[in-house]
Amino acid sequence: MLALKQGERRAAYETIASPEGVPTYSMVPVRGPGGDVLDAYRGVQRDDTHEVVSVVSARYGLVGHRDVARAVHQVGKALEVPDSGTLVPAFPRESIRLYSGGRRMEVKLVVGRRFHLGAGEELYPGLRVLNSLDGSWAVRLSGFAVRLACQNQLYAECGNVLEWRELHLSSEFDLLGQLEKAIHEFLGRFQDGLGLYTRAMGQEMLASDVESALLRQGIPRRHAESIGGRAEAEASHVATLSRWAAYQVATAYLTREVNVNPDRERFFEKAAARALLLHAGPIG
């Protein structure tokens, strides 16, 4: 195991440029303290570094990160591409991140299918596909949205939009077909979930309540204080702002200024939605 020097921290994630750059992994024997092979277990070894990233049951079915990234890329080739110039560099059409020491991977894909909420309010749907090599979960799919006006990343409501679908694969050969089906299901239901956002546009809240609402949902104090202060500045002398406006203040901060691994990022997205969109509709 790599030992970190005092004061050092592991990077939150490793960015990969393309599916072909994603490392491959192999199953290797695991030996006990006496040197004997433990038949009930296998190690998952990263082929380029030969680092064993996890130990799993011998029955574990390995679905490799590169296979998942390739499958998402393949499905994405058949979907709408965002119009030129509509996405800033912070939101490439497709992005890949490894995290948790390479045990987990996130692939994001932004789909260029515009949805209109009102004047100046347009969204692209986004797909987040996660894979685990430590037995934590099978391949998973969740949704988000990109607000084109300011390139904020928004939480996709789980009451109507497909929020979290776990793909139970009998083999890696099922991957492309199951991902394609799940992605098209998400896109087909995306419009139904947008009522959460439109309702929030018509509801007011006190700017002074933003910080406490975020704290109650688990947002760390330093982030909640920053967002709360910006919400009060946005409201100015009137002291109130729409829940949608408060949510945009929060997502602008979380999108641009908070650099965390994908699991933590998703927690912040969901917490901000619970805090600021709660009275606009249910969030599961």
Write out the DSSP string of 112-173. ---EEEETTEEEEEEEEEEEESSSS-SEEEEEEEEETTTTEEEEPPTTTS---EEE--SSGG
Which tokens hold the place of 185?
Answer: 């299901």
Closest residue by Cα to residue 274 from 246, 232, 252, 253: 246
pLDDT digits (tens, 9 = 90+) for 168-224: 766 666 788 888 888 888 888 888 778 888 889 999 999 999 999 999 999 999 999
| pLDDT higher than 70, residue 283 | no
Helix (H, G, I), strand (E, B) or coil at 45: strand
Please give the Cα distance from 166 to 217 (Å, whole number): 25
Please give the Cα distance from 258 to 230 (Å, whole number): 15
Q: How confident is the prediction for the chain on average, in pLDDT?
A: 86
Q: Comparing 163 with 249, which gets the higher pLDDT?
A: 249
Please give the Cα distance from 219 to 216 (Å, whole number): 7
Per-residue model confidence (pLDDT) at position 49: 92
86: exposed, middle or buried (C-beta count within 10 Å: 0-12, 13-18, 19+)? middle
Cα-based angle 100, 103, 104 (whole degrees, multiple of 5): 75
In DSSP terms, which residues pair with 42 in a beta bridge?
Answer: 29, 56
pLDDT digits (tens, 9 = 90+) for 114-129: 999 888 889 999 999 9
Please give the Cα distance from 249 to 213 (Å, whole number): 14
Q: Comparing 12 with 74, which gets the higher pLDDT?
A: 74
pLDDT digits (tens, 9 = 90+) for 15-57: 999 999 999 999 999 988 888 889 999 999 999 999 999 999 8
Please give the Cα distance from 94 to 256 (Å, whole number): 18
| Residue percentage of the chain with pLDDT more than 90 | 51
| pLDDT higher than 90, residue 159 | no
Closest residue by Cα to residue 215 from 157, 268, 151: 268
Per-residue model confidence (pLDDT) at position 72: 94
Average pLDDT for 241-270: 92
CB 243 within 8 A of CB 209: no
Which tokens hold the place of 13?
Answer: 């994630």
Per-residue model confidence (pLDDT) at position 6: 37
Element (H, E) at 104: strand 104-110
Per-residue model confidence (pLDDT) at position 162: 45
pTM for the model:
0.85
CB 109 within 8 A of CB 123: no
Which residues are within 8 A (CB) of 211 and not within 5 positions of it... i.e. 6 or more apart?
224, 225, 227, 228, 229, 231
| pLDDT higher than 70, residue 157 | no
Closest residue by Cα to residue 106 from 269, 234, 247, 249: 269
